[in-house]
Amino acid sequence: MANQVLLLRREETFLVNTIKTQLKKNDYRFIESGLSVKEISRHKDDVTLLILYVDDSIGEARDSLVYIKDLLLEEEKELIICGGQNELDEVEKIIPRELIEGVYERPFDMGRIMENVGEFLDELQIQQRKKMILVVDDDPTYLKLIKEWLKDDYRVGMANSGMQAITWLANNSADLVLLDYEMPTIKGSKVLELLKSEANSSTIPVMFLTGKSDKEAIMEVLALKPAGYLLKTIDRASLLDTLDKFFVEQKYKK
């Protein structure tokens, strides 16, 4: 991609120009944009990291913050935020802290911000060689836990509903989907059916996540012929072992 960093700001300010100067000094490829949804959407496919500079007018950009949150969830973008404490608090009312790569309060440590950008871009090169797993669950705490467990070995996408998973897969590819079987609104069985009906996701293997361990519940899950199932009580070591074996078997089959 031509650019890897998108600098978002409402207006040109001294601090915005300082960030731009530092990005140039460190040879980081970047483009800049205003905060409208239209402007952000124009550039989103060309970048992986968003740097958002917020001022005291950020409360007027609610629609843009919601759009940015969706990009973080659905399109594997990452976000660094720079601003005053009050403005940062406003952003975190819409974008959960766990979705944010870095938060920097004024007065800024520009060296640390640039170091964070460099660390992310270096990690990006490593991550792009890893398998991608999409985790689908309506419980944000469980999503965060599984991402924390997997992030050192796999790239991890997150979706908190079946429809969000379908939207995510329309814009991204995955090597495996871990799908909650007992989600509200649209159950995991229906989500699997929808995934199999879409051309871009029909061949992606799906493992169910289930909290039920009785025989009848397991037979119900297996009847849908997923790539496997995992109990939600599984520990980190067992989860990683299961996934490692799965991908080894997939490689052998190919």
Within this chain, do residues 91 and 167 fall inside the same structural domain, yes or no? no
Do residue 135 and residue 92 come from a single domain?
no
Task: Please check whether residues 77 and 103 belong to one and the same domain.
Answer: yes
Regarding whether 149 and 220 lie in a shared domain, the answer is yes
- Give the end of a domain, one of 81, 102, 126: 126
Last residue of a domain, which of 103, 126, 149? 126
| Statement to judge: residues 217 and 110 lie in one domain | no
Q: For 207-243, give the secondary structure using H, E and C.
A: EEEECCCCHHHHHHHHCCCCCEEEECCCCHHHHHHHH
pLDDT per position as a tens digit, 184-239: 888 888 888 888 888 888 899 999 998 876 667 668 767 778 888 899 999 999 99
pLDDT of 3 reads 53
pTM here is 0.55
In tens, the pLDDT along 11-41 reads 889 999 999 999 999 999 999 999 999 999 9
Which of 126, 149, 169 is the last residue before a domain boundary? 126
Q: What is the model's pLDDT at position 246?
A: 92
> Residue 154 belongs to a domain with what CATH number?
3.40.50.2300
Domain housing 21: 5-126
Q: Do 137 and 111 share a structural domain?
A: no
**Structural domains counted in the chain:** 2
Report how far apart, in Å, the C-alpha atoms of 86 and of each of 56, 61, 105, 106, 252 are: 8, 15, 10, 11, 54
114 and 155 in a single domain? The answer is no
Same domain, 58 and 165: no
